[in-house]
Amino acid sequence: MSIKPARTRVAPSPTGHMHLATARVALYDYLLAKKTGGQFVLRIEDTDLTRTVPGAEQEIMDGLRWLGLHYDEGPDVGGAYGPYRQTDRREIYQAHAKILVDSGHAYPCFCSPDRLEKLRQEQMKRKENPRYDGLCRSLDPDDAARRVASGEKYVIRFKMPQEGATTAHDLLRGDIVTENKQLNDYVLLKSDGLPTYHLAAMVDDHEMGITHVLRGSEWLGTFPLHVNVVRAFGWEEPLWIHLSVFLKPSGKGKLSKRDTSLAMKDGYSVFIKDMSELGFTPEGVLNWIALMGWGVAEDDVMTLDQMIDRFSVDGLTASPAAINFQKLDHFNATHIRLFTTEDLAARLKPYFAREGLNVNDETLLKIVPLIRERLVTLDDCVSFGGFFFKEDVTPVPEDLVAKGLDAKQSAQVARSAYEILAAQPDFRHEKCEPPLRAYVEESGLTANQVFGILRVAVTGQKVSPPLFESMEIIGRETCLRRIQNAIEILQRM
Ligand code: GLU
């Protein structure tokens, strides 16, 4: 059976930093489109001018590209269904609002903000849900049209059916039935002539030929309104999928703004723009996000292509997704181990450069196999391997003193090691290691003591990649100079 190509869209509002919730919708949209040979569209929903943040739209486009979720159509790439920015589509919404007014599915409302506020206060006092009382619903349409023509301020409201019930179908949740008397006459077109989400998104999804609407579960409340709007136009409905909510990292309660800022302090983030800076890879982030609402096995490691292969909307789940940063670490580290040496080297380079280290490509290719297994985030490369690119290292004097020895004795060990290595013209690790092991035997010291002193002397740190391999890469001259320097430090102590 051939599957019909899906047209999907991610429709973020440029009101702040791109959150992983947007990335998740985009990922599933992308997978569905690619799986079925369809298209994935980016639409910018910027009709709430008071909330638009400069730069946010660019951040969304950059974020999607960084993740590798390349959209087929969008504001900066064009496409046959544009424009893809809602403020560039005003006339389309105004024309559609008029269609609904003319067909009796919507009406102009002239109520002042003052009246609406009073109404809200009274309803709150009576412990009722705030809703429009329908005053302008019963205005004579010709009178209303005259008032509009005379320049009076108005909004367009949807004339929600008042009797019966609305059944809306969600692919993950089944039929959702709502009594129509609980529904409100929502505003479709604001007094500034711009549409609300309730009109703009419905019009655009139809006009853009969207087949599957994947969106956050915060839209479940107005879902009955949306299907009524689509039906009022007489259009075919898309398939609706409301994704699961995100829970706090603890798993208790919905993710809040506060949790977001706490996460930032711990070297994690829920914003896509921070991921690269924190050393996360697109592959790790995507794999992590993929499993927050898609019921494949918890620990499935997948590249984007493998996800396309395995994806199906039936696999999506409505159960809440806890944000578990340990899993992000896990997937990031796992993908780092899957990259080729050349690929990983290219990805690590900017992190060394960020610390002012001058990276030599040949050396970098040699150290990647030595540090790869230790990396959880890409920026870990600096703490494990920064010393490879430094002219000299500055060990903490105390670290040069081996356990069970004093500074003088440690200096003596360093001197012996220096002599052994200085006598070694071939600095390959298989040549340097045996004479030093022999020295450990003869001296009655432990390998930890001897190699510990050497490690701190040569790398400047107590933890490093394998010592002899590291010394081979650093090279004979530099190693000897660093050991000499360590001897001097120990002598001064
Ligand atoms: N602009 C809406 C939002 O950012 C999009 C919802 C949707 O995908 O329909 O929440």
CA 25 to ligand 1: nearest atom? 8
More confident residue, 64 or 323: 64
Instruction: Read off the tokens for 254.
Output: 């919905």
Contact 447, 491 (CB under 8 A): no
The CB-based long-range contact list for 188-192 (8 Å cut-off, 24+ gap) reads: 188/97, 188/100, 188/106, 188/155, 188/156, 188/157, 188/158, 188/229, 189/93, 189/94, 189/97, 189/155, 189/156, 190/155, 191/153, 191/154, 191/155, 192/49
11 ligand 1 Cβ < 6 A? yes
* Ligand 1 pocket mutation pick from 197, 226, 229, 242 by most atoms within 8 angstroms of CB: 197
- Cα of 12 vs centre of ligand 1, distance in Å, is 5
- Give the pLDDT score at 176: 97
Widest Cα–Cα separation across the chain: 107
Mean pLDDT for the stretch of residues 224-230 = 98
Residue closest via CA to ligand 1's atom 2 equals 12
- Cα of 310 vs centre of ligand 1, distance in Å, is 26
**Using 50, 70 and 90 to split pLDDT, how confident is the model at 108?**
very high
**Using 50, 70 and 90 to split pLDDT, how confident is the model at 322?**
confident
* Ligand 1 pocket mutation pick from 45, 202, 210 by most atoms within 8 angstroms of CB: 45
208 ligand 1 Cβ < 6 A? no
CA 214 to ligand 1: nearest atom? 8
- Cα of 168 vs centre of ligand 1, distance in Å, is 18
215 ligand 1 Cβ < 6 A? yes
Contact 242, 172 (CB under 8 A): yes
Cα–Cα nearest to 119, from 133, 108, 139: 133
- Give the pLDDT score at 398: 97
Q: What is the CATH number of domain 391-492?
A: 1.10.10.350
- Cα of 13 vs centre of ligand 1, distance in Å, is 7
38 ligand 1 Cβ < 6 A? no
390 noted as active-site residue: no
- Cα of 392 vs centre of ligand 1, distance in Å, is 53
Most confident of 1-10, 47-56, 295-304: 47-56
Residue closest via CA to ligand 1's atom 8 equals 215
CA 15 to ligand 1: nearest atom? 4
**Using 50, 70 and 90 to split pLDDT, how confident is the model at 256?**
confident
Residue 78 has what DSSP assignment?
Answer: B
Strand order in the sheet with 39-42: 39-42, 7-10, 212-216, 239-243, 165-170, 174-179
**Using 50, 70 and 90 to split pLDDT, how confident is the model at 373?**
very high
Q: What is the 3-state secondary structure (H, E, C) of 316-356?
A: ECCCCEECCHHHHHHHHHHHHHHCCHHHHHHHHHHHHHHCC
* Ligand 1 pocket mutation pick from 219, 241, 245 by most atoms within 8 angstroms of CB: 219
Topology annotation, domain 257-340: Glutamyl-tRNA Synthetase; domain 2 (1.10.1160)
Find how far residue 374's CA is from the centre of its chain.
Answer: 24
**Using 50, 70 and 90 to split pLDDT, how confident is the model at 255?**
confident
pLDDT at 40 over 90: yes
Cα–Cα nearest to 89, from 188, 195, 209, 13: 195
More confident residue, 289 or 263: 289
Q: What is the CATH number of domain 341-379?
A: 1.10.8
- Cα of 215 vs centre of ligand 1, distance in Å, is 6
pLDDT by residue (tens digit) across 130-171? 899 999 999 999 999 999 999 999 999 999 999 999 999 999
12 ligand 1 Cβ < 6 A? yes
CA 12 to ligand 1: nearest atom? 4
223/168 Cα distance (integer angstroms): 7
Residue closest via CA to ligand 1's atom 9 equals 215
Domain range summary for the chain, segments of one domain joined by +: 89-242, 257-340, 341-379, 391-492
Arithmetic mean of pLDDT over the chain: 95
- Give the pLDDT score at 263: 66
Percent of the chain topping pLDDT 70? 98
Answer whether the bond into residue 5 is a cis peptide, omega within 30°.
no
- Give the pLDDT score at 319: 85
- Cα of 61 vs centre of ligand 1, distance in Å, is 15
Report the CATH architecture of 89-242: Alpha-Beta Complex (3.90)
- Give the pLDDT score at 111: 97
**Using 50, 70 and 90 to split pLDDT, how confident is the model at 1?**
very low
Mean pLDDT for the stretch of residues 95-101 = 98
- Give the pLDDT score at 246: 83
Instruction: Read off the tokens for 18.
Output: 């791109």
45 ligand 1 Cβ < 6 A? yes
Q: Which residues contact 261 (CB under 8 A, 6 or more apart)?
A: none
SS3 for 199?
Answer: helix
pLDDT at 424 over 60: yes
- Give the pLDDT score at 252: 74
Q: Which of 125, 127, 252, 257 is catalytic?
A: 257
- Give the pLDDT score at 2: 55
Tell me phi and psi for residue 299, to 5 degrees: -110, 20
CA dihedral 209, 106, 217, 32 (to 10 degrees): 0
Instruction: Read off the tokens for 48.
Output: 């709430």
